[in-house]
Amino acid sequence: NAGVTQTPKFRVLKTGQSMTLLCAQDMNHEYMYWYRQDPGMGLRLIHYSVGEGTTAKGEVPDGYNVSRLKKQNFLLGLESAAPSQTSVYFCASSLGPSRGTEAFFGQGTRLTVV
């Protein structure tokens, strides 16, 4: 039981490049989340999903897209990376409010855009 796994752990991108971050969970969780963490800003919600095939915008969705084609995977895409997207990205998953709502986090992805 690996929990929540993020790929990759580190990445350096040039401005304008694209990339996809993968989040995989093996706990059969319905809810999945993508956050970014910047100094002094806490954890800000980018997008989230309440089930396979569904996604919704969070607090800071601009510049990001997501997909949840399979229940266990939640992908975060950057179509044209900008230096402002330099951050640590965390994925999380949970069973949802009706079944216990603890969110389990991945180990994080440190992304630098130069």
Partner 1 sequence: GENVEQHPSTLSVQEGDSAVIKCTYSDSASNYFPWYKQELGKRPQLIIDIRSNVGEKKDQRIAVTLNKTAKHFSLHITETQPEDSAVYFCAATYNQGGKLIFGQGTELSVKP
Let me know: does 77 contact 18? Beta carbons within 8 Å.
yes
Let me know: does 20 contact 109? Beta carbons within 8 Å.
no
- The stretch near partner 1 (CB under 8 A) out of 8-16, 18-26, 51-59, 75-83 is 51-59
Residues 28-47 touching partner 1, rule: CB under 8 A, are: 31, 33, 35, 40-45
Q: Which residue lies nearer to partner 1 by CB, 14 or 42?
A: 42
Q: Which residue lies nearer to partner 1 by CB, 28 or 42?
A: 42
Amino acid at position 42, single letter? G
Residue 88 phi/psi, 5-degree rounding, is -105, 125
Residues 93-112 touching partner 1, rule: CB under 8 A, are: 94, 96-98, 101-103, 105-108
**How many CA atoms, within 13 angstroms, populate the side-chain half-sphere of residue 13?**
25
Strand, helix or coil for residue 84: helix
Binding residues for partner 1, rule: CB under 8 A, are 31, 33, 35, 40-45, 48, 50, 56, 58-59, 90, 92, 94, 96-98, 101-103, 105-108
